[in-house]
Structure 1
Amino acid sequence: MLDIVTASEWFGSEFGRPIIIGGPCSAETREQVMSTALAIAEIKEVSIFRAGVWKPRTRPGNFEGAGNEALEWLAEAKAATGLKMAVEVATPAHVEAALKAGVDVLWVGARTVSNPFSVQELAAALGGVDVPVLVKNPINPDIELWIGALERINRAGCKKLAAIHRGFYPFEKRGLRNIPRWEVPIELKRLFPNLPMICDPSHIAGKWELVQSIAQQALDLDMDGLMIETHINPSVALSDARQQLTPAQLSEMVGSMSFPTSTTTDTSFARCIQTLRQRIDSLDAQMLELIAQRMKIAEEIGRFKLQQNVTILQVRRFEQILKDRLEQAEVIGLNHEFVKNLLEMVHKESILRQEAIMRSSGPGERKFPC
């Protein structure tokens, strides 16, 4: 388990849910930072201003941030607006400079999280630091790597921790910049229920037009906040121009979104939900019983195959199963990909059980054909 405090304890009871963080991908100039911060400060739902000071670029020659000078701009914006300031850190030197400048929140980027050596160096620099540290998911959907980064920083004494879901790098071009793989942050939330989970819809969307739908989906999945890239004039932004909103667009977006809660005091709602959940529990029990019966039949088939020295894998048979079941799934309104994945998992387990039967057979137990 992680030894952490709740997000509401970070800055006091006035720091509510959802946490909304807004600001440009990069701090580019004093004027850009100040004008963006002043506009964002007018949006009451936003409590933290974010800006990249040191930018890890994939290839040299791109804008890599304004560096330490930008920390002065953030300090001025903080004094003028009262917003908390957040920056990304990738080295111990970044941590030292950011804390010296009075930065309120630090986050660790996806590239850094992907390298345990870098995370360990940051953890050592963060030892005893009493500021929130937000940890983005690694580039690939490796939940153990994500957990490892959280654990390293937590063991250094940082109790104000949160995770940021920013999606995972796609191997091929898709409609979204990053693949959401929502099941990964959901599993992390299941393992660590007290860990605040913030979504970065800007990096998942890759286009400002898609940010709101991704953000709403995150809130509907009970995530605790949003980090949204916002620039006073995205068309001239030096990095990630396509995915940044203007402060006016952010204000409109926040005003039109639904902010669902994880609990309610409505007793009639609670009764209805309880009844439906009981029905699900009953159906799940029946489903598991049917799967157990199916596995017993698969084992029986495995024993017949053993006697006749027949291969376990029967490709044509499985192809026919897929074809028949997927046609049936379409008729009853089940998702094609879901049913295909389910059948493949059941088939894999059937093969494993038949393999176990083959391995357990002793000399002379197989009946080979004449």
Structure 2
Amino acid sequence: MIITIHPQATSEERAHLMSLLCRMTGSQRPISSTQIANREVIALDGGHLDAQAQNLLQQQNAVERVTVVKTPYQLVSRAFKPESTSVVIGKNRDCTSVIVGDTTASPVIMAGPCAVENKEQLMETALAVKEAGAHVLRGGAFKPRTSPYQFQGLGVDGLHLLSDARDETGLPVVTEVMEPEMVEVVAQHADVLQIGARNMQNFPLLNAAGRNSHKRPVLLKRGLSATIDEWLLAAEYIVAAGNPNVILCERGIRSYDPQTRNVLDLTCVPLLQQLTHLPIIVDPSHATGRSELVPVMSRASIAVGASGLIIEVHPDPNTALCDGKQSITPAQLQKIVHESRMLTHMLQGEAALTHVA
């Protein structure tokens, strides 16, 4: 159940509503609210509230409307917010802002190295990414690796290099944060906080990202074997904590076949567009683990309606310290950017013709 607070509600009316909710739910703690689509809302597990209780809530002066959502995720549900959400990246920063989820625009392409290795490698890649027509620079300063002996990233030094790259190119930056205690530090340097697949259900991290004081959007990757509901509930944590700017990222789910790193579940893109108002992008690099498959799966991702792509690019993949096998070259990225735009224009044209017919 979602209660939308009336924008003209007085403090006394709000206090009365909060007291009523505490009595109804048996909560010993104050009821918290969050901002969604310029409205203050309260999300509750309303399964135990009967129709009489719902009617009583609707009659309160502080209440604009009561929405009953039947899914376990509420704030990210399209049943609550029918219109699609657009997330702005790079707002109030000295870079070119980008909108993810704008159905009238070309897909947003995020590209860059798996890991920030050194200044020369990052700057070369960043300039090439911009030249190729990508919109956002990706790069890992902190790298969660399966083996403790593999390159773990440059840490805070990598964050400073990413900031320098943004200053040099004007591209906003997305990078991963792994610990709740590091959210504010990473948010100082990054324009998007990425939560990786292994941390999708790190609930303290989700809450911290939702509360980040810099109001940075969050890119939430799907867990290694996560269901759609589990993924959306992870997003619900972030939104319920106060951050409505969440971008979902499909990066493949684990299978038994070793030919590819994961199985890219493109079915989830149109399915999620029915279930949630949040934008969805696709990571064909981690999904396939093979650079030769990245271009074709990029095209497939755009064809099913993804709002963008996040791709690993390295000037010399053979020497990459991390995930070189799945990294493409800047020249390949340029072709993907061009094909994505062409495919989008073609699909938009077909949709327009169908509407006219």
Determine if the TM-score, normalized by the shorter chain, exceeds 0.5: yes
Structure-to-structure mapping, 1:92-171, within 5 angstroms: 92-100=180-188, 102-113=189-200, 115=201, 118-127=202-211, 128-171=213-256
Match of 1:70 among 158, 165, 169: 158
Identity %, equivalent residues: 34
Q: Which runs of 5+ in 1 are unaligned?
A: 273-370
Q: In structure 1, how many angstroms separate the alpha carbons of the residues matched to 2:256 and 2:208?
A: 33
Alignment partner, residue 6 of structure 1: 85
Alignment partner, residue 54 of structure 1: 142
Checking the alignment, whether the CA contact within 8 Å between 2:210 and 2:239 is kept in structure 1 is no
Cα deviation, residue 149, structure 1:
0.9
Alignment partner, residue 39 of structure 1: 128
Larger radius of gyration: 1
Alignment partner, residue 37 of structure 2: none
Q: In structure 2, how many angstroms separate the alpha carbons of the residues matched to 1:137 and 1:224?
A: 16
Give per-residue Cα distances to partners, 1:19-73, cap 9 Å, x unaligned: 11000000011111111101111123x1110001111111210111111111111
CA 1:121/1:242 → structure 2, altered by over 3 Å: closer, same or farther? closer
Cα deviation, residue 112, structure 1:
0.4
CA 1:268/1:17 → structure 2, altered by over 3 Å: closer, same or farther? closer
Match of 2:264 among 153, 162, 180: 180
Checking the alignment, whether the CA contact within 8 Å between 1:36 and 1:231 is kept in structure 2 is yes
SS of corresponding position for 2:216: coil
Higher RCO (C-alpha 8 Å, min separation 6): 2
Cα deviation, residue 126, structure 1:
3.5
Normalized per residue, which structure has more helix?
A: 1
SS of corresponding position for 2:254: coil
SS of corresponding position for 1:61: coil
CA 1:187/1:120 → structure 2, altered by over 3 Å: closer, same or farther? farther
CA 1:268/1:136 → structure 2, altered by over 3 Å: closer, same or farther? closer
Cα deviation, residue 125, structure 1:
4.8
Q: Which runs of 5+ in 2 are unaligned?
A: 1-73, 92-96, 100-104
Q: What is the root-mean-square deviation in Å for CA atoms of aligned residues? A: 2.3
**Letter matched to residue 150 of structure 1:** A
Checking the alignment, whether the CA contact within 8 Å between 2:138 and 2:175 is kept in structure 1 is yes
**Letter matched to residue 110 of structure 2:** I
Structure-to-structure mapping, 1:1-370, within 5 angstroms: 1-2=74-75, 6-7=85-86, 9-11=88-90, 15=99, 16-44=105-133, 46-100=134-188, 102-113=189-200, 115=201, 118-127=202-211, 128-174=213-259, 176-192=260-276, 194-257=277-340, 258-260=342-344, 263-264=348-349, 268-270=353-355, 272=357
CA 1:9/1:84 → structure 2, altered by over 3 Å: closer, same or farther? closer
Checking the alignment, whether the CA contact within 8 Å between 1:167 and 1:204 is kept in structure 2 is yes
SS of corresponding position for 1:63: coil
Cα deviation, residue 265, structure 1:
8.5
Question: What TM-score, normalized to structure 1?
Answer: 0.66
